[in-house]
């Protein structure tokens, strides 16, 4: 399917590795002009190099509210518009809830909730003025169903799901679509501890009805569709992509 992304301007956060890097390179391959944002400048430069001139890199710390808001203005100043925003950046500190310092929660909320909110707000202003735009928030299956030892992360991703639904309802009449992807177990470097341990990997895969972890490329057609203008009636949806795991009782 031709997603019609030639010339579309897309901002992808958390784009230096894993799913974010795959999103940036895939969207660029589909013809979009991609601004890839992340903290890791070295890895980000590698992603930009794979974009064949369609990816530009912006080093941004998602904990810096001023820098986050300015990021959208940088995109618009460079390209004249912003057609889509993919809020992918996130952190997932693990630990027993009773022992977790409140500072860990504050940082998690800053990166996983406040930064996407600020980006959606800044991008939304331009999209409403344009009369069109798409926002794709990347949550997690833990935002749909809680997970032990990831209470802060689960809470933050649950907030992303609710933000998606609320914004979609508020902006549907303004030509702006807001959707959410909730990935399950993907074989990226974020899962390196699991992938490098045969025992952990076997236990993790046992929980997945599909019997395996997914590859990043398997998520990309959905990302391209939601970033494109090909499904204009799709908004406020949460797409769980987890091989059937969250569907189990």
> In sequence order, what are the residues at sequence separation of 6 or more whose Cβ sits closer than 8 angstroms to the Cβ of residue 246?
141, 144, 145, 182, 184, 240
- Phi and psi of 34, rounded to 5°? -110, 130
Beta-strand relationship, 133-138 and 33-38 = unpaired
Provide the 3-class DSSP secondary structure of residue 7. coil
Put the strands of the sheet holding 9-13 in their side by side order: 55-59, 33-38, 9-13, 84-87, 133-138, 176-183, 238-241
Q: Specify whether the CB–CB gap between 127 and 82 falls below 8 A.
A: yes
* Distance (Å, whole) CA 10 – CA 172: 19
* Distance (Å, whole) CA 188 – CA 243: 16
- Residue of 153, 156, 176, 227 with catalytic role: 153
142 annotated active-site: no
Tell how many helices (H) and how many strands (E) occur in the chain.
9, 7
> In sequence order, what are the residues at sequence separation of 6 or more whose Cβ sits closer than 8 angstroms to the Cβ of residue 247?
209
Q: Specify whether the CB–CB gap between 37 and 89 falls below 8 A.
A: yes
Q: Specify whether the CB–CB gap between 18 and 190 falls below 8 A.
A: yes
The DSSP symbol for 213 reads: P
Q: Which residues are catalytic?
A: 153
């Amino acid at each position: 399917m031709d997603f019609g992304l030639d010339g579309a301007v897309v901002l992808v956060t958390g784009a230096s590795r894993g799913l974010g890097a795959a999103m940036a390179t895939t969207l660029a391959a589909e013809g979009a002009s991609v601004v890839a944002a992340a903290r890791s400048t070295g890895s980000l430069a590698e992603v930009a190099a794979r974009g064949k001139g369609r990816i530009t890199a912006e080093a941004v710390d998602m904990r810096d509210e001023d820098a986050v808001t300015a990021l959208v203005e940088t995109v618009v100043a460079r390209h004249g518009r912003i057609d889509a925003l993919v809020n992918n950046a996130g952190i997932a500190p693990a630990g027993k809830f009773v022992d977790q310092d409140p500072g860990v929660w504050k940082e998690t909320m800053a990166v996983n909730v406040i930064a996407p909110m600020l980006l959606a707000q800044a991008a939304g202003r331009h999209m409403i003025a344009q009369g069109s735009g798409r926002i794709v928030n990347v949550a997690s299956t833990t935002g749909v169903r809680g997970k032990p030892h990831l209470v802060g992360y689960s809470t933050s991703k649950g907030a992303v799901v609710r933000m998606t639904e609320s914004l979609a309802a508020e902006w549907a009449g303004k030509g702006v679509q807001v959707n959410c992807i909730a990935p399950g177990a993907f074989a990226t470097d974020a899962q390196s501890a699991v992938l490098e341990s045969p025992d952990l990997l076997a236990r993790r895969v046992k929980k997945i009805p599909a019997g395996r972890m997914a590859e990043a490329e398997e998520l990309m057609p959905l990302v391209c569709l939601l970033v494109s203008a090909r499904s204009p009636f799709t908004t406020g949806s949460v797409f769980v992509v987890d091989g059937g795991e969250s569907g189990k009782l």
